Amino acid sequence: MRVWLTPVIWFALLGALAAFLPAMASLFSWVQPGTDDLVYSRDSFYLLLQSHAWLVLVSATIGTLVAVSAGIFVTRPWGRDFLPLVSQIASIGQTVPPVAVLALAVPALGFGEKPTLLALALYGLLPILRNTLAGLDGINPGVLEAAKGMGMSPAGVLFKVEFPLAGRVILAGIRTSVTINIATAAIGSTIGARTLGDPVIAGLVNGNTAYVLQGAILIGLLALATDSVFEAVERLWARRSLAV
């Protein structure tokens, strides 16, 4: 389908760049003249890309499950009283810097991927929760009453009426959260997680601008490629909604 053409192009470009960066050393000589150490070589860019994407995927899955579940809970009649508390908790996760979360989590979870996943999951909660609340609360009450009048159970109303109508709004929140966390995941390299932040951190420590640029380019392309996937899904969702 044509809607997937842009994501395919972005991911093909990302994969090609990750594969051929080591052969492009001469292109970075203009940003780091006077040295032969022009391409980050401690780990393969493919390995760093896979690890980075995995961290974002797992943290996004955790954050989405928690945020959507919380959004459903506080939009039910029996959960409305907890709305301020849930919103405040999600806001704290967004406002506390991920670096601070890492510093607090390392003593309990150790170095590596676990504290990074925790920081990313907490940091990504708020956009998803806000959009879940906006999507579910924005449904016309008459539609819900009509569904109940047809004999639908609460679960049936949720999955057959509320989710289809609020889906695009919720998806937009997930899209925002994931895009932010693709960039944020790079800080995991400061505590031993393997990410595309490795060349960035190494470049900053050693004063090697070429390393920084290589990591930044791959992170940017990953964000663009992932965002294009969400855009394609949103377009398909819109077409399906119009067809219905």
pLDDT for position 215: 93
pLDDT for position 174: 95
Q: What's the pLDDT band for 242 if we cut at 50, 70, 90?
A: low
Burial of 216 by CB count in 10 Å (0-12 exposed, 13-18 middle, 19+ buried)?
A: middle
- The answer on pLDDT for 222 being more than 60 is yes
What are the pLDDT digits (tens) for 152-168?
888 888 888 888 888 88
Domains of the chain listed by start with CATH number: 43-243 (1.10.3720.10)
pTM (predicted TM-score): 0.89
